[in-house]
Structure 1
Amino acid sequence: MILSDKANMLGVVRPGSKLSSMYQRHTLGIEELKPGFKPFPLLAARKLAKIIDRFDADIIHAHWVKDLPLASLAKRLSRKKPRLVFTRHMKITRYKNDIYHTFFYKNIDLVLAITRQMESDLRRFLPAQLEDRILTHYHGVPEPAKILSTEEKAGLREKPGIPAGAFLAGIFGRIKDTKGQYLVIEAIRKLHAEGHYIHGLIVGHPMDDRYLELLKQEVNASGLSDYIKFMDFVEEPQSWMQVCDVVILASHEETFGLVLVEAMRAGVAVIGSDSGGVPEIIEHDLDGLLFRPADSQALAGQLRMLVDDPQSKKRLAAAGKAKAERVFDQREHFRVLYRYFTDLAGSKRAGSNEQMPD
């Protein structure tokens, strides 16, 4: 289920936004709007208010904190006075209870945190009047479009030159130092020194070409160029995840860790750094493995365990897949989100002051 199956939806995006193509794929309506002066975008808010009234919108759903002033002002200026829902995706580190932030945040009817840790932080840092309007709502991930056969996996491995039977550790995501690709290289180098000749696949678009070049230089200097391969962004990451024996999230700190859930849904064992929202995804040695952040020796130890114990790898992959289907299913994510929206819209029509869904 996606929300457009149940409700009329309109996407309001910045001109030239990459989101436009996503809306078009789902045949959803699009309105383009320049945000204007971000701290107090009054003119843009008037335009958005007119869009809200013309579309007869019951709900505004904002995802970027910098869009909150725009959404909050538009709600106040519109005749429709829709409910405002805000999903917080990034970590919050400072209090938002000053006059400026309170003015905008008081107009939010529901705040959705993507982890329980974030929910706790939001209760701490946001204005006290929002405390009863904050809930945790995990991201949802669809099952893979296709489960690859052994032959198909071998065919994909041939493209970057990875042997069909080799143990392969993959890391997916933007290539930048805080994402920890260098830790994977260091861990693989340590295992090679012990006689464990595993392979690595680093997939993602470089945010800094210099950092990518440094990674490649490190691979070459370590004599690992035949074992560690680089690929740019891929359209179907879950297919490439399926060719891996394990998928690693090595970020110093990740608010959620979507790549882990994608791999789990694909039936692949996962290793994640023990920080941020990752421990809410992985229960150590039950449905995945955790390691100390920024510690390549600790990461090497977890990789070694999977290399030495294939049965544990299979056990963790199966348990991770079951957990992802149970806790992080995309259809359930949207079903619950739709209930939140309809409850809020229903309470508004009934004239209720109650803002939090049951």
Structure 2
Amino acid sequence: MLLLRSAIGVFGAEQMMLELVHALCKSPFEPIIGVIENRNKFCTELARTAALSGLRSQVFKCSRPFDPRTAYQIRKFIQETCIDLVHAHGYKANFYALMGTLYSKIPCMATCHPWTETDYSLKARAYSFMDRIWLRKMDAVVAVSDEVRQQLSTHNQKTKVDVIPNGIDVDRFNGLEKDFNLRRHLACSSSDLVIGAIGRLVPEKGHPFLIASAKAICEKYPHAKVLFVGDGPLRQQLERQVAELRLNSHVKFLGGRPDVPALLSVIDIFVLSSVSEGLPMVLLEAMAAAKPIVATAVGAIPKVISHHDSGLLVPPKDSQALTNAIEFFVKNQREAVRMASAARRMVLANYSSKHMAQKYLKHYEQLVS
């Protein structure tokens, strides 16, 4: 089986693929991760990450949008490797999956992740339109949340879309204790209040609203530190905002890092300030790490986080609401611990990679039977 993705790094969708492949390794299917190189950024980070994890991968060269030579490479690989199923992730992978299996009886399925919710450019709308056409030709279509399914159904009423929520390897977060050496390395003392945000520095993550909130938090709690883990096109803009608010001594940009469990261990409060989401992997990871969570009520987040039960939900684009929620946890430690424990129980019961893989296996078995 070939899982196909055009990737310039390892972010939410790529992490979901890795989790799925890990969970499928003991199944009858032999998963291979296919990475379509981005024509502008010849990045094979997904393939390297897979290799480090002992997973099989294959890189397909791509020198221009919808390169026929890429389709030929994929088709040849499918034939030579006796691939019996192609599982595509993303519009470009959807196209190449269909081209690679053209005139064959090999089934194709697609998993739809959110990707253009805050991008209203002509290019993004064109890709979205073409993707709707390609999805109609798939043998099965899965969305990572009800919200993504609703978006697809609005435009593709003839396409049956099932929902399979993302899942994580919860065992990676068992017995997680604070890493005080890492805290010191990050210039955070044991007494500092460490607020963490993990995710790409892109518009849909709403980081400017968290930075505005950090101004109020740091004025009231001078020992507060805010860590941004991740990289992206907005980094310079966000760094300028931090400088303008004179928060340089409080806010740190750590870039992309693979040690998410260790980083979560040093964080006191996890914040997700997104203005648009599906079902973010990092939210599930923070829940598994039993962190007090402040998150915006967008996408599938309200289905995962129950307000004042397993975390605090706030409206998107509302810095004051973020500030109030963060301060609630600072002032109410018992409530913070209670909600963090409830969040961990929730993810253990419903959002493990094993649960996710079992649901995908049912689709695979139906398609190849």
Q: TM-score range by the shorter chain?
A: 0.7 to 0.9
Q: Which residue of 1 aligns with 2:110?
A: 86
- C-alpha distance in 1, partners of 2:62/2:220? 55
Q: Percent identity?
A: 21
CA contact (8 A) 1:284 1:290 kept: yes
SS of the aligned residue for 2:186 comes to coil
Q: Which residue of 1 aligns with 2:80?
A: 54
**Cα deviation code 1:300-350 (max 9, x no counterpart):** 11111111111110011001111111121112212221222122211xxxx
Candidates 126, 147, 154, aligned match of 1:124: 154
Q: Which residue of 2 aligns with 1:239?
A: 262
* Counterpart residue identity of residue 158, structure 2: Q
* Counterpart residue identity of residue 163, structure 1: S
Candidates 317, 320, 326, aligned match of 1:294: 317
Structure 1 gaps of 5+ residues are: 347-358
SS of the aligned residue for 1:242 comes to helix
Distance 1:85 1:36, change over 3 A: farther
* Counterpart residue identity of residue 147, structure 1: G
Distance 1:107 1:290, change over 3 A: same
Q: Which residue of 1 aligns with 2:141?
A: 111
Q: Which residue of 1 aligns with 2:35?
A: 13
Q: Which residue of 2 aligns with 1:264?
A: 287
Aligned pairs for 1:38-49 (under 5 A) are: 38=65, 44-49=70-75
CA contact (8 A) 1:92 1:125 kept: no
Distance 1:283 1:186, change over 3 A: same
CA contact (8 A) 2:272 2:295 kept: yes
**Cα deviation code 1:61-91 (max 9, x no counterpart):** 000212222211322233xx11111011125
TM-score computed with the length of structure 1 as normaliser = 0.83
Candidates 145, 156, 159, aligned match of 2:182: 156
User: After TM superposition, what 4+ stretches of structure 1 lie above 6 angstroms from structure 2?
Assistant: 92-98
| Alignment partner of 1:228 is 2:228 | no
Q: CA deviation at 1:42?
A: 5.0
Candidates 224, 235, 246, aligned match of 1:198: 224
**Cα deviation code 1:174-204 (max 9, x no counterpart):** 2345423332232232234446753322222
SS of the aligned residue for 1:14 comes to strand
* Counterpart residue identity of residue 24, structure 1: A
TM-score computed with the length of structure 2 as normaliser = 0.80
Larger Rg: 1
Q: Which residue of 2 aligns with 1:250?
A: 273
CA contact (8 A) 1:49 1:77 kept: no
Distance 1:4 1:195, change over 3 A: closer
Q: CA deviation at 1:101?
A: 6.0
CA contact (8 A) 1:176 1:207 kept: yes
- C-alpha distance in 1, partners of 2:232/2:61? 28
SS of the aligned residue for 1:140 comes to coil
- C-alpha distance in 2, partners of 1:321/1:101? 36
- Would you say how many aligned residue pairs link Structure 1 and Structure 2? 334
Q: Which residue of 1 aligns with 2:214?
A: 188
**CA RMSD, Structure 1 to Structure 2 (Å):** 2.8
CA contact (8 A) 2:191 2:223 kept: no
Distance 1:54 1:329, change over 3 A: same
SS of the aligned residue for 2:158 comes to helix
Q: Which residue of 2 aligns with 1:349?
A: none
CA contact (8 A) 2:205 2:274 kept: yes
Distance 1:167 1:282, change over 3 A: same
